[in-house]
Amino acid sequence: VIGSLLGCFISLSLASRYPDRVCAVVLTNVYHYPPKPPSSSSSTKEEEKEEEVWEVKEDGSHLTAIWNKRSSWLDPKLNSRITYDEMSYLLKKQERYSSKILIQDASAYDFESAAKGTKCPILCIRGEGATTLFDAIGLDLSGQFEKAVDMMEDVEVAPAVKPGGLNLINQDAEQWSEIVNKFLASKGL
């Protein structure tokens, strides 16, 4: 099973739940989101606002609001792509909420149990560029990657891929494939 970023949680979850069906796991840019501290029973206005479903407005102001978040500092072409991606995400989130599926909060996952429950070999790969980016914006991929790896039993850590962007599997496909193939061959897979 192969996972990247949030897909790492899904991969570990599958491997720990179905050990008879998963013979190896490859995690790319794995990130351990620490669990949130328990909250009090009364929610704040901010928490309630976060849980509101995004609303499509007839006048298109929902798109303008997304665009304006980044328009002062982001190139218009890139902002167009990001506006489209965020709108798609919010529309899908709306569908999930209506079905009572709340998956966007990675800290809600029990990463540690899934990591410790995975008994097959695990390969962890991180991109140097992704690490630099996460570290620069305060998300500490360097530290969170190490915390995640420390929770796993049969784990091998590959040297960081260079340039190794966020979408490592697509951006550095040859390097990534070479590392994965070598790992799988060493396990007789």
Q: Kindly report the pTM of this predicted structure.
A: 0.68
In the predicted model, what is the mean pLDDT of residues 59-88? 87
Confidence of residue 42 (pLDDT cuts 50, 70, 90): very low
Q: Return the beta strands (E) in the chain as ranges.
A: 2-4, 25-28, 122-125, 155-157
pLDDT digits (tens, 9 = 90+) for 91-148: 887 777 776 665 556 666 788 999 999 999 999 999 999 999 888 888 888 999 999 9
> Do residues 143 and 109 lie in contact, with contact meaning Cβ atoms separated by under 8 Å?
no
> Do residues 117 and 18 lie in contact, with contact meaning Cβ atoms separated by under 8 Å?
no
Residue 21 in this model has a pLDDT that exceeds 60? yes
Long-range contacts of 5-11, Cβ-Cβ distance < 8 Å, separation of 24 or more? 5/29, 5/30, 5/31, 5/166, 6/106, 8/148, 9/106, 9/109, 9/111, 9/114
Residue 169 in this model has a pLDDT that exceeds 60? yes
Residue 71 is classified by DSSP as T
